[in-house]
Amino acid sequence: MIRSFQHYGLAVPDPGLGLAFYTDFGLEGRAEGNRAILRCAGRDQDQIVLVEGKKKRFHHVSFGTRADEIGAMQRRIEASGVKLVDPPFVGAPDGLWLRDLDGHLVNIRIAEATPVRTERWDLNTPGHRPRVNARGCPPRGVRVRPRRLGHMILFTPNVEKQTAFYTNVLGMRISDTVEGGIIAFMRCVGDSDHHVLALLKSDRPGFHHASFEVGSVDEIAMGAAAMLDKGYGHGWGLGRHVIGSNFYHYIRDPWNSLVEMFCDIDWIAADQPWEPRAWAPEDSLYMWSVDGPAPESFVTNYEER
C-alpha cells in the first residue's frame, strides 16, 4: 500500500536552471553530476529530482510503503501483468520500479514521510479569539520556505484506467472525482491529505503541477509576490479550491509547467469514514479566485512530445 509521497522527478534540458528556480521558490538544492536535488528547508527528504534530458518531461514519482507490505505489493504488481524494470539512473532510490499505464516510471520503496514541524496558525474569528495581545500580520519581507511536498497532478488520456491502476494495483484510495472523467483525486492509505496524486484529462500524458505546503494564506501571497518580482510567470491565484478546500497560488516554472503553494487542505483520517463524491464540473477548479476563472492555459498540457 502506498503510505507516503516521497518525491517526483522531471527530465529537463538544464537542471541548473531548475535548481535556480526552485531555490528562488524557497527550497534548498544541490547539484549531483547532471542532476539537481531539492528539499524543503530543514526536511531530511528529497522532494524534487531534476535529471538532464533533451526535452522537459515528467520522469518519475517515488512513493513510500512499509517493510511488511512491499513483498505483497510486488506480488500484486506482477499478478496484474505489470513488469518490474531497472532503476533509471545510478543512485536512483531502491525498491520496486515499474511503469504505469501512461508509461510513467513509478518507484515504491520502504520509506516514511519525514515529520513536519508542528505549527499553529491562530485566526481570530467571530466569537473565537485564540490570538490575544499579539499582532497577526507577519513582518514585511519574510522569506517564504515551503514545509513539504503535498501533492502532484498528472495529465492522462484515460482518467478511469489510470485511476484503476493506482487504486487496484498500488492500493491508493479515491477521495473525490469530477463528473465526466475530468479528474480524479487520490490519497495514501492511512491518515492522509485529501489527495497526494490527481489525474487530469488530456490528449496525452504529462506533468501539470506539484504543490508545496506553506504556513498561511499570508505566506502563499508573499511567496507568490516574491516569485513574480523575480520575473517568473504568473499561473493562477490567489484562490480557494472546492475539492480539497486548500488555498492556492500557482507559478510557472521555466518550462511552462506549474508549481503551487497551498495551505489548509482537507485531512482524511484512516479511522473515520470518508465518502467520495462525484463533483459537478463547475466545482472542479475553484470556489473563488482574485483572478476570476482559471485561464485556458491552466489546463493546457505543455509537456513536450
Mean pLDDT calculated for residue range 194-202? 98
Domains of the chain: 4-113+146-299 (3.10.180.10)
Question: How far is it, in rounded angstroms, from Cα 38 to Cα 52?
Answer: 15
Dihedral of CA 95/60/65/76: which sign?
A: negative
Mean pLDDT calculated for residue range 80-102? 95
Q: Is residue 217 pLDDT above 80, yes or no?
A: yes
Cis peptide preceding 38, ω within 30 of 0: no
Instruction: Report yes or no on whether pTM surpasses 0.75.
Output: yes
pLDDT at res. 91:
86
CB 196 within 8 A of CB 5: yes
Question: Which of these, 145, 120, 147, lies nearest to 134 by C-alpha position?
Answer: 120
What does the pLDDT look like over 151-175, one tens digit per residue? Answer: 999 999 999 999 999 999 999 999 9
Grid coordinates representing 124 are 481570530
CB 109 within 8 A of CB 93: yes
Question: How far is it, in rounded angstroms, from Cα 102 to Cα 100?
Answer: 5
Question: How far is it, in rounded angstroms, from Cα 121 to Cα 113?
Answer: 22
Mean pLDDT calculated for residue range 77-92? 94
What does the pLDDT look like over 107-123, one tens digit per residue? Answer: 999 998 888 777 888 99
Question: How far is it, in rounded angstroms, from Cα 7 to Cα 35?
Answer: 14
User: Per DSSP, which regions of 40-147 are E strands?
Assistant: 48-52, 57-65, 96-99, 105-110
Q: Give the mean pLDDT of the chain.
A: 95
